[in-house]
Structure 1
Amino acid sequence: MQLLLDALLRNARDRADAEAFTDDTTALTHGEVAVRVAALVARLAPEHRALGLLAPNGVAWAVAQLACACAGRTLVPLPTFFSAVQRDHVIRDASIDCILATPDLIERAAGHGVAVQTLDIDARADLQPEAAGRFAQVIYTSGSTGAPKGVRHGPRQLGWMTRALAQTVEARPEDRYLSVLPLPLLLETLCAIFIPTLVGARVRFETGLPERIGTGRLSGLAEVFDRHRPTMSVLVPQVLAAWVGELEAMSAQAPASLRFVAVGGAPVPSTLADRAWRAGIPACEGYGLSECGSVVAVNVPGRRRTASVGRPLPGITVSVADGEVLVEGPTLMDGYLGGERPAGPWRTGDMGSLDAGGFLHIHGRRDNLIVLTSGRNVSPEWIETVLLGDPDIAACGIAGHGLDGLTAVLIPTSAGERRFAASDPEDLRAFVRARCADLPVHAIPGRCLLVSREAAFASGLLTANGRIARKVLASLVLRDATPADALDA
């Protein structure tokens, strides 16, 4: 991808001794990044056109990502939290020729019937000024509701998103980005690797934190941010809630260095956003999906509207037809693997509206709509966002499609676990009724289930990025609501 190659060459010339990427074990300047990327490009076999990348968050991942972009290969991130079955599916589906893996993950990479190359970033070479071929990246979902589906983006989409986001957030060389989300997420790739490379900024990869987040162990966030004092970061609501809770418990404030913290991937309760700002976190809600380049709209400090996900990025056209959000623009994917390139606006499946100021509001997924036996239609995200406003709730899900009432499945924070330790079912119902007191009667859950974070991740109820898996949720609620013998019928 010429955009990144040009930036690497420019940084090596103008900012050679400035810090670029660091993690727990490695620190590289911009000059060192350029020579390490060049050496890895030289070691990629010409016949290996589609490369899987299996590595933890860190400097090695960033070097491999940039090398694949400069060499014009197709890169397919292989999340460390994928099972062997999921990896097998991705490797076959994307026709991966070779897996680049860090030494600690070589054994996991082996046994899939494709070549494996150890990801070594110690060698050095001169970076050439011309890119070789057309870079592409294929992003897979976690597969929690079925086989993962590959979304293909080329240099047109990735280059445009990098420039547009950098402009929107006013990225600059002085920025210090703290990366805490898994790099297989396209948004984290853009914000932790592409944008900092474009502007010559520096990035700290907190290597162990994404793994802890993926298993629900959300602790130590306040200490991490205070130690590194970044200017920017990207979070999901569950992580933001944990960080805010820690700050409130200590009567502390977030580092004054912060100027922009994007929050997306799930609805952000207005009460949580308000608490974040009071704690000194400039939390800005955003919205996007992989099929549309990961970011469609985002709030920014000074141009933020509460309860919205911000204005669409320049160049992206957002419209609403029959309540559904439609997206057009240069970030629209090349297509799913094996599928046609989409024509015309992309129907997101999200229900939303645009206000008079051009700010986008998301009201939930069309296919998540719950229809009760009374005929009432309920958007679960509406109720979930209300419940997530309580600091003792880390995640929650609402189910009840085809039933006579709603069930709330609550996943508490560490503080919430202590609070609910002695609660009986009626205590939980009273808690939910109090939080939902402003909702219509039919939208107040009549039943409640409490699930620990560990059990939620182990059962697949929570995906690795903290989202509720709707099919698992529905199955859990159905089992609890139906006599056991009826389930076998």
Structure 2
Amino acid sequence: MTRRMETLQALIDGLAEEEGDREAVCELTQHTLVRWRYRELTGAARRLGAGLAAAGVERGEPVGLLAPNSAEWIVACLAILEAGAVVTPFDTQMPAAELRHALADSGVRYLFTAGEAARRLDTLGLEEPPEPIRLDDEGGTEGGWQAWCRGGAERPRTVAPEETAALFYTSGTTGEPKGVPLTHANIAANLTALLGQELAYGDDRILVPLPCHHVYPFTVGLLTPLALGASIVLPYSVLGPQIVRALREGEATILIGVPRLYEALDGAIRGRLAERGRLAERAFEALLGLSRGARQRLGWRLGPYLFRGLHQRMAPAMRMVVSGGAPLPPELAERLRALGWEVATGYGLTETSPILTYNPPDRIRVDSAGLALPGVELRIDAEGEGGAGELLARGPNVFAGYRHLPEKSARAFTADGFYRTGDLGWIDGDGYLHLEGRASEMIVLAGGENIDPERVEKALTGAEAIRDAGVLAHGGRLAAVLHPEPEAVRGLDEAAVRRRLNEALQACGERLPSHHRISDYRVSPEPLPRTRLGKMRRHKLRERYEQLGAEGAAQAGGAAGPMDEEAMAAEDQQLLQIPAARRVWEALAARYADRRLTPDTHLQLDLGIDSLGWIDLTLELRERTAVALDEDAISRIESVRDLLREAAESQEARGEARALLEELREPEQLLNEAQLRWLAPRPRAARALGGCLYATNWAILHGYCRLAVERSGGRLPEGPVVFIPNHRSALDAPALGAALPLSRLARTFWAGFTGLLFSNRLVRWFSRASRVLPIDPYTGPRTSLAFGAAALARGESLVWFPEGQRSNAPRIQPFHSGIGLLLQAHPTPAVPVHIAGTERALPIGRRFPPWRARLRVRFGEAVDPQALLAEGRGETAEERIADALQRRVAALGGAEEEQA
């Protein structure tokens, strides 16, 4: 449905009439998908709207929404509009003082809420709190939204275009949120103009991970898909694994995000490439350059073909990413396009409903903010050198003024009705807008948050340990230069000074919104650059920040790397004895190898991890360590020690492991037809090639290298076994293959990393001939473990590297608990294997082993999983099995492992 509308009630009318049987919302819960049809959605909204009107909600009365995204949130939003009332969404993470002000200023009598937000409402101490209506009520009990529904098909009241449809609260320079009322005509005009650009269609599935209390996802991610008759996909949470899960299971074709989200996704891709080595990185960048050049010069979209594997793993159906809230860095936009996704960007403000300009994918100029949306007039005021000046805007989507703030409203407009955006920019000859910062000193972060630096600086200098503070944006995050109070830090060494400042920042952060908190800071021993009148010279502040960074890097020298565990406090050493905490510590040490990592390291202040930065980190932790952290746990984490404790206590990971164990008993149910073909008998040509590969490998390892094979546990059992080797080199698998007889290999499957052994058709054919199964550690544990379980269920042997990846560490790394799940689901004798010498013959980065390299493969005694369960240590059965196997493999290394 793309006809012109004058009110949002007209939008609701079209939903049931034209798209009644189509899927409207696909909401991912923790384990399932909940689908709402358009007829169900509009039916519930109309019944709830009738109930609101019957309860006395008046025409034009604000009705609040304080809850995370959900299908019920959308129902409540449409119901408020249906009742002729005003949708008034609040940020669930708004500081208490600001939330109290917004609730009082709006005057809401009724508030839709759920979960932690509902409990928080009780702690605000409001004299006349609004009546809560629970969105998380499933039984229609009193106080739940379903109990408010009433029958009747007639609309309670019809509104006019000039009436207020929504009231948004946005932080300003005073610190108190400003109410921004938007009329039906404002939002409908913006919506109609967006639909006219035909960027999306009715068969699209649009993933919305952004909270709908912001006007950008409200209009672009919620109302626009509904007007199109498309499907809205809501993730279970904004943590990394859940975003990827929603892209895959929700079959999303369009992703609505902010720059920080795309930076996190790009960072995850780069991190995976770094693990594969410099050669893989260079090859990837070469393909990226080829894709970019073909698109720019010939108009060819090669990305979907060159990076098909990446698309299949991350987002099989996604065709376009939409970015708003803050400027998308041009180089990132070009990378996303080269990877094969269309990119659409836009610019606007809450006061403009929100879109003023858009960058269409077919005419995108990534260094600009795009073209004015139809109906929008743009003008540059007080043009200076180069034609830059403050951007002014006028159009049917621009609001009329702030709620209860007549003086600010008057200052916000020119005499002829143009809105002063506060942004500096210029418009080129083709009509593209180019932004050059804020007319005021407001900072806009990469997530779209507006920051008043003076407000943050005032809070920081209120701390006893901080004499002066200057705030700036750096790398998309909020940073600061701090000048300590001399008396507060006198006599302290550098580490102690930093601890004092960390404590001060933490205390200040509790009094500020989450996006106003400092992610990085540098310490200045001298006063900050200010004018004689006391105003901060901000261009000099940035120079000081960069200078201090260069000096700090020079002084740091070789201080990078994880803290020596023997130097840790006793309780921290005990914490690392828990397998889950140990795995997280090792993953952090590898991820931040260039930092000094200790249990006291602050994740935000020292490592720069902000709310969106958790997307990348949680994805890596879940896939590498099998530790899943929910949003409540993340809210409690400040330091590395906190993270280790949450990992150790993670119940979600254990619960998923139990459910996965049951699924692995019938593993072929987890694999599709294409995946099952890897388990099928090899054709004759593949068997012949496998024999040739075995003979060649045997000759090289026994002739060119000097491979010694030892069996400390006697002869290998005749039946199926699981070989459990350590892993330090790409030479490990060939060495183990040369140590086994061909008759054994003919009945053995290998777990192989898709990034190396399945990267192209030729390599996949060799892998098929060698009976290698495609194991992708980045798509979750189910499919990978299902391959191994299916091999065991078919009575075959299996080679499984439980460290997960090659390691440069001198000692054997902790074994992932997945091997414990496999052996529980399909009890099979396990054979520990210790491989030595390969780490010297072919370390990471070397292409060929030297002549006559000394290699050794030592087989241990086959052991039953029940014996492993009895001797291992850990909180779960799979952890105990993995621990026992690790100890047995290490014991096979003898003095070599002890010395390491």
- Tell me which interval the TM-score lies in, with the shorter structure as reference length: 0.7 to 0.9
Please state how far the C-alpha of 1:47 moved relative to its aligned partner: 4.0
- Which of 24, 31, 35 aligns to 1:20? It is 24
Q: Give 2:48's aligned residue.
A: 40
Letter in 2 for 1:325: L
For 1:128, the equivalent position in structure 2 comes to 154
Letter of the structure 2 residue corresponding to residue 155 of structure 1: H
**Shift in Å at residue 349 of structure 1?**
1.3
Q: Contact (CA 8 Å) 2:260, 2:612: kept in 1 or not?
A: no
The Cα of 1:270 is off from its aligned counterpart by 1.4
Q: CA deviation at 1:186?
A: 0.6
Cα distance in 2 between the residues matched to 1:19 and 1:100: 24
**1:466 matched residue in structure 2:** none
**Which of 55, 72, 78 is matched with 2:90 structurally?**
78
Are positions 1:350 and 2:372 aligned together?
A: no
Asked whether the 8 Å contact 2:359–2:371 carries over to 1, the reply is yes
Q: Relative to 1, partners in 2 of residues 1:190 and 1:320: Cα closer, same or farther, differing over 3 Å?
A: same
Cα deviation code 1:206-234 (max 9, x no counterpart): 1411xx4xxxxx56544432332322222
Q: How many residues align?
A: 409
Per-residue CA deviations over 1:180-204 (Å, capped at 9, x if unaligned) read: 0111011111123211221211111
Deviation at 1:4, TM superposition (A): 3.5
- Which residue is equivalent to 2:862? none
* Match for residue 333 of structure 1 among 399, 405, 409: 399
CA gap 1:262/1:149 in 2 versus in 1, 3 angstroms: same
AA aligned to 1:46 is G
Counterpart in the other structure of 2:439: 366
Task: Select the residue among 585, 595, 619 that pairs with 1:421.
Answer: 595
- Paired position in structure 1 for 2:141: none
2:329 corresponds to which of 261, 269, 285:
269
**CA distances 1:253-303 after superposition (whole Å, capped 9, x unpaired):** 364633432212222211111121222332223211111221111111111
> Given the alignment, which residue of 162, 165, 173 partners 2:194?
165
Partner SS state of residue 336, structure 1:
coil
Counterpart position of 1:179: 208
Distance 1:121 1:55 in 2: 13
Assess if the C-alpha contact under 8 Å between 2:353 and 2:399 holds in 1. yes
Q: Is the 8 A contact 1:180 1:206 kept in 2?
A: yes
Secondary structure class of the residue paired with 2:362: coil
Out of 101, 104, 117, the residue aligned to residue 132 of structure 2 is 117
What is the Cα deviation at residue 248 of structure 1?
Answer: 4.0
Q: Distance in 2 between matches of 1:457 and 1:239?
A: 8
The one-letter amino acid of 1:115's match is P
Q: Is residue 69–residue 135 contact of structure 1 (8 Å, CA) maintained in 2?
A: no
Candidates 12, 19, 36, aligned match of 1:8: 12
Q: Which residue of 1 aligns with 2:79?
A: 67
Letter in 1 for 2:350: S
- Cα distance, 1:148–1:451 mapped onto 2, change above 3 Å: farther
Structure with the greater alpha carbon radius of gyration: 2
Give the match's secondary structure for 1:194: helix
Change in 2 beyond 3 A, CA 1:98/1:455: closer
Residue pair 2:57, 2:85 contacting (<8 A) in 1 also: no
Deviation of 1:178 (Å):
0.5
Deviations 1:318-363 (A, max 9, x none): 1212211111111111211113464611111111111111111111
- Aligned counterpart, 1:30: 38
Secondary structure at the aligned position of 1:81 is classed as: coil
Question: Unpaired segments of 5 or more residues in structure 2?
Answer: 136-143, 274-309, 384-388, 444-471, 480-517, 523-527, 530-535, 550-587, 598-604, 615-900
Cross-structure match for 1:193: 222
Judging changes above 3 Å, is the alpha-carbon distance between structure 1 residues 300 and 95 closer, same or farther for their aligned structure 2 residues?
A: same
Closer, same or farther: CA 397–96 of 1 in aligned 2, 3 Å? farther
Q: CA deviation at 1:142?
A: 4.9
Q: What is the rounded CA distance, in whole Å, between the counterparts of 2:242 and 2:590 in structure 1?
A: 17
Task: Give the whole-Å Cα distance in 2 for the aligned partners of 1:387 and 1:291.
Answer: 24
Match of 1:283 among 338, 343, 348: 343
Residue 245 of structure 1 and its aligned partner are, at CA, apart by 2.2
Decide whether the 8 Å contact of 1:284 with 1:301 is kept in 2.
yes
CA distance, structure 1, for counterparts of residue 608 and residue 182 of structure 2: 37
Comparing 349-358 and 398-407, the one that deviates more: 398-407
Give the CA deviation at 1:86: 1.9
Counterpart mapping for 1:231-310 below 5 A: 231-250=253-272, 252-253=310-311, 255=315, 257-310=317-370
Query: How far off is 1:126 after superposition?
Result: 4.5
Q: What is the aligned partner in structure 2 of residue 452 from structure 1?
A: 608
8 Å Cα contact 1:384-1:396 kept in structure 2: no
Mapped partners of 2:324, 2:375: distance in 1: 20
Assess, with a 3 A threshold, how the Cα gap between structure 1 residues 300 and 148 changes in structure 2: closer, same or farther.
same
CA distance in 2, matches of 1:178, 1:188: 10
Contact in 2 for aligned 1:70/1:135 (Cα 8 Å): no
* Residues 117 and 368 of structure 1, relative CA distance in 2, 3 Å threshold: closer
* Aligned partners of 2:356 and 2:376 also within 8 Å: yes
In structure 2, what is the equivalent of residue 204 of structure 1?
A: 233
Q: Distance in 2 between matches of 1:272 and 1:17?
A: 39
Let me know the Cα RMSD of the aligned residues: 3.6
Partner SS state of residue 202, structure 2 = coil
CA distance in 1, matches of 2:46, 2:108: 22
- Greater shift in the superposed pair: 449-458 or 171-180: 449-458
Q: In structure 1, how many angstroms separate the alpha carbons of the residues matched to 2:591 and 2:113?
A: 38
Is the CA contact 2:65–2:112 (under 8 Å) kept in the aligned structure 1? Answer: yes
Unpaired stretches in structure 1, ≥5 consecutive residues: 213-217, 371-379, 389-393, 424-448, 459-489
Say whether the 8 Å CA contact 2:520–2:606 is kept in structure 1: no
Which piece of structure 1 moves more, 136-145 or 163-172? 136-145
The one-letter amino acid of 2:339's match is: A
Identity of aligned residues (%): 27
User: Alpha-carbon deviation of 1:69?
Assistant: 1.3
For the 8 Å contact 1:35–1:126, the answer to whether it is kept is no
Cα displacement (A) at 1:457: 10
Q: Whose helix proportion is higher, 1 or 2?
A: 2
